[in-house]
Amino acid sequence: MYYLDHAATTPMHPEVAAVMLEVMQGPGGNPSSMHAFGRAAKQLLSRSRDGMAAALHCRPNELVFTSGGTESDNLAIIGAARALRHEGKNHIITSAAEHHAVLHTCEWLSKQGYEVTVLPVDATGRVSPEDVRNAITSRTGLMTIMHGNNEVGTMQPIQELGEIARAHGITFHVDAVQSLGSFPYDLHDLPVDLVSFSAHKINGPAGVGLLYIKQGTPIEPLALGGSQERKRRAGTENVAGIAGFARALDLCVSNRSSRRQELDVLREVWIEQLTARLDKDAIMVNGHGEERLPHIANLSFLGVDTETMLMNLDLSGIAASSGSACTSGSLERSHVLRAMKLPDEHLNTAIRFSFGLGNTREQLDEAAQIVATIVQRIRNNS
């Protein structure tokens, strides 16, 4: 078996599992309870938050724990949009290449009376800062642009976009779910107001997320019923999951530089091995050549339909995908590749491979031979 779908979810690191198991086998305790068990849970929650704040260079009280990246995106976008509407700001700017957790949320808000501008991206998946400037109106209150694309790996120029937003008094939300493992975040200096993260993309547990809310950023809660997370997100916190997330982030920060180099090598090895075994003109690498995440390789195998390819890969023990894990079970083609205006021949033959913990060069050599054999067989039979 070859797991090449780390952009969908990553295997849990053994040290993360050990931390979580220790919490789950402990005496328990609700962090909101006043007794000793509750206080112990509260202390663990606070230690986790403090460590993550140090890793992300922000204040602990600027971090809100959620159930994952989707909830973090929803809380950031809907919560900020509702708060900003009171100031007469009902215009939202986003891009056509966002994750569906952002696009579907913006679509929902448009039905609630908000004005939404969806910016195009170029053939590499990048947003133009000039398009952002041209889209801004006196009613623009919120902009939401992801950092690293989950399907093609393209990185957006969030420093420049954030400076534009700040110059116009616009609240800026960044979906950083896919980029946390590769990019060092200094949230104190970065011109952003809201940033979404998720544990299961960095070898942590699924079902735990984080939202950075810069102090002073207007936002209304979506979940009501308790005073948890400073009344910004009601509900008993997932203490074991949060402790696991904190450990995963600590490991991520400690090893990020060397791990990024390793992933860059794995990606290059993968593309080189496939190119050597197949006609290089029949393989198209999608996304930006330089401004990209190191662990994602989106490739179009021209002449080989995506569904047929995925089925054959699965039968051969190779896990890959056609795009976002949230939509990979459907038959629709990638909205990101459509937004990039790729030819149908590229759009309908694209496969996303993504690398991480457990992958080796030797493993990729073996998997590349299997992929090449599958492609040649399909082409010969077509």
Catalytic residue, candidates 58, 106, 252, 326: 326
Pairwise CA distance, residues 294 & 182, whole Å: 7
With both helix axes pointing from N to C terminus, report the angle between 361-381 and 306-315 in degrees, rounded to the nearest 10. Answer: 130
Tell me the one-letter amino acid at 187: L
Which residues does 216 contact at the CB level (< 8 Å), separation at least 6?
none
Pairing of β 318-319 and β 296-301: unpaired
Annotated catalytic, 326? yes
Number of Cβ within 10 Å of residue 344's Cβ equals: 10
Beta strands in 31-97 (DSSP E): 63-66, 91-95
Alpha carbons 186 and 188: distance in angstroms, whole number = 5
Phi, psi of 321 (to 5 degrees): -150, 175
For 8, what's the count of Cα atoms within 13 Å in the CB-facing half-sphere? Answer: 17
| Element of type H or E holding 130 | helix 129-135
Cβ(234)–Cβ(224) below 8 Å: yes
Tokens at residue 24, please? 């789950």
Specify the pairing of strand 115-119 against strand 171-175: unpaired
Residue type, 192: V
Contacts of 51 (CB under 8 A, 6+ apart): 246, 249, 250
Nearest residue to 113 via CA among 86, 91, 139? 91
Catalytic residue positions?
Answer: 326
